[in-house]
Amino acid sequence: MTTKKVKKEVEVKAPKVSATQPTQPTQPTQPTQTANDLTIADLKNIATVIDVASTRGAFRANEMATVGLVYNKLQMFLAKVAPETKPEENKTAEAPAAAGK
């Protein structure tokens, strides 16, 4: 008994575009924040997660040095990028005291 292998050819057709339907022009993309972008708030949340996880014992002793290095680097980066606004807080704290004089 002999068997034959039959090849099927598949024809791929391009979608038809009628002359009466205008194609929509592409609009320039505006720089928007996507779900993949990291923000300063995200980095602060990561630092909080690391702190909570280490407090709850999520890391082994031999991992703590690496986790600590990453945490410290993250804190230094956040300090450079988003410094605390302590002078403004002092001004608002002094304003009510000055109003009472």
Residue 46 falls inside a structural domain? yes
76, part of any domain = yes
pLDDT higher than 70, residue 66: yes
pLDDT tens column, 1-23: 566 665 666 565 555 555 555 55
| Reported pTM | 0.49
Q: Which residues of 64-96 are buried (b: 16+ CB within 10 A; e: fewer)?
A: eeeeeeebeeeeeebeeeeeeeeeeeeeeeeee
Per cent of the chain over pLDDT 90 is: 42
> In this structure, what token pair is assigned to residue 87?
């002078």
Q: Give the C-alpha distances (Å, rounded to integers) separating 28 from 22, 32, 38, 54.
A: 18, 12, 23, 46
Is the pLDDT higher at 83 or at 27? 83
The count of domains in the chain is: 1
Domain with 68, as residue range(s), is: 40-86
In a domain, 49, yes or no: yes
Residue 65 is assigned to a structural domain of this protein: yes
